Amino acid sequence: MESSTETSIGERKLAAGCPSCAKTDNLRRCSGCKVLQYCGQDHQREHWTKHKSACNGVRRARKSLEDTKQALINHPDFKDDNPFVKHVGWFWKIQETRPYMMGMSKLTQAIGELDHMDAVQAELDIYMELLRLCPGDNMGIRGSVPGAMLRLGKDQECYDFIKWFETAEDYDRNFLNIKNADIFEPVDFVRAKPVGDLSRPLCLILLKIKLLIEMLRLRNGETRIKQLKANLIKEGKPLPDELFSAFAKDTRAQTITSPALRARDDLMNGQGFSEKISTLKEQIDKLYDMIDAQNKHIWPAMDNPDEAFKRELTGMFSMGSEDEMRIALNETFRAWLEVPGATEFIKFKIHGKVDELL
């Protein structure tokens, strides 16, 4: 994230569809970056002055990646076996694969400059490919995955990934083996002292905050549904039960944005959200304290992000340091800004005023 001061202010919505008009069907991909898609040449031309420099950056990164890929395939050590077939899982450990891995990482940085939903998806695809090639993750890609998933609205995938990351005994043998875990389950599986990665608990607390905000919205919606029902009865024109519950279900589906929640029958039938609200509040408190114990700079930085982003990122950091905080914020902050209400909620939490929101 190069222009971090610019992005640290206020909530934002990740652009999707045609960058000029947001249309989402019949799009054609930009042949330069092969990431953004346009509804037609007019809008592509219109967007070009804004897009040109990032588009060229992606094109160059892709070209040099292609060169390292060919060099790897043609390397004399691999002349009888394609490393992309024979050595999956051993990338990075095999020295010759490193330029390719680094090229992939550089490509994600270039794609990140496009700042668009299609770009986040493309970044995530590369992260997952890097993990497939090297599940041990010597490059530290895993910290960027949960934030990208949250930005794409992939809440269930994000939760499964975090849980896998936290609990897997062997990343090679148990590669991504958690599917559809219960997003409301206790957070005790989060290791109290993980090694130098704060992005994971930061994304988990963000996910829990997102769920809590959705639950509060659902609760408000439920009050409105009840009022409407009472009004209809008062006016002497009640809807038949079946029709009314279909209407209520529809309203709930529109209130909730997370597909992970829409998939739950209890919530869709207007049940269970009160307990979920107190469960989530407790889990958020727990994660908040855990993160605070790991790095005391995180929450003050969240309270005043512009200040936190003022200094340059460094590659090296020690646990609990300000540099560690900056790296974790850099990996997760866009996700925070893109979850409606999340930065406001965390400010209330920092100032001990969450009960005002509940």
Residue 243: both structure tokens together:
């029709």
How many residues belong to the chain? 358
3-state DSSP assignment of residue 325: helix
Comparing CB distances to Zn ion, the nearer of 55 and 290 is 55
By CB under 5 A, residue 229 contacts Zn ion: no
Q: Which stretch binds Zn ion (CB under 5 A): 31-39, 150-158, 175-183, 229-237?
A: 31-39
Report the C-alpha gap between 328 and 335 in whole angstroms. Answer: 12
Q: Binding to Zn ion (CB under 5 A): which residues in 55-114?
A: 55
Between 43 and 217, name the residue whose CB sits nearer to Zn ion.
43
Minimum CB separation of residue 11 from Zn ion in Å reads 24
**Residue 152 beta carbon to Zn ion: minimum distance, rounded to whole angstroms:** 20
Residue 20 binding Zn ion, by CB under 5 A: yes
Q: Which residues are paired to 38 by β-bridges?
A: 28
Candidates 15, 16, 27, 43; binder of Zn ion (CB under 5 A) is: 43
Q: In angstroms, rounded to a whole number, what is the distance separating the alpha carbons of residues 35 and 120?
A: 10
Residues 6+ apart with CB under 8 A from 246: none
What residue type is 184 in one-letter code?
F
The footprint of Zn ion on this chain (CB under 5 A) covers a number of residues equal to: 10
Q: Name which position in 4, 33, 131, 291 contacts Zn ion (CB under 5 A).
A: 33
Per CB under 5 A, 21 contacts Zn ion: yes
Segment contacting Zn ion (CB under 5 A): 11-19, 213-221, 254-262, 348-356? 11-19
Asked if 302 touches Zn ion (CB under 5 A), the answer is: no
CB atoms within 10 A of CB 8: 22
For tokens 């051993």, name the residue. 90
The gap from C-alpha 178 to its chain's centroid, in whole angstroms, comes to 17
The interface region with Zn ion, picked from 25-33, 70-78, 264-272, 314-322 by CB under 5 A, is 25-33
Which of 39, 141, 260, 342 touches Zn ion by CB under 5 A? 39
Burial grade of 349 (CB within 10 A; 0-12, 13-18, 19 or more): buried
212 binds Zn ion (CB under 5 A): no
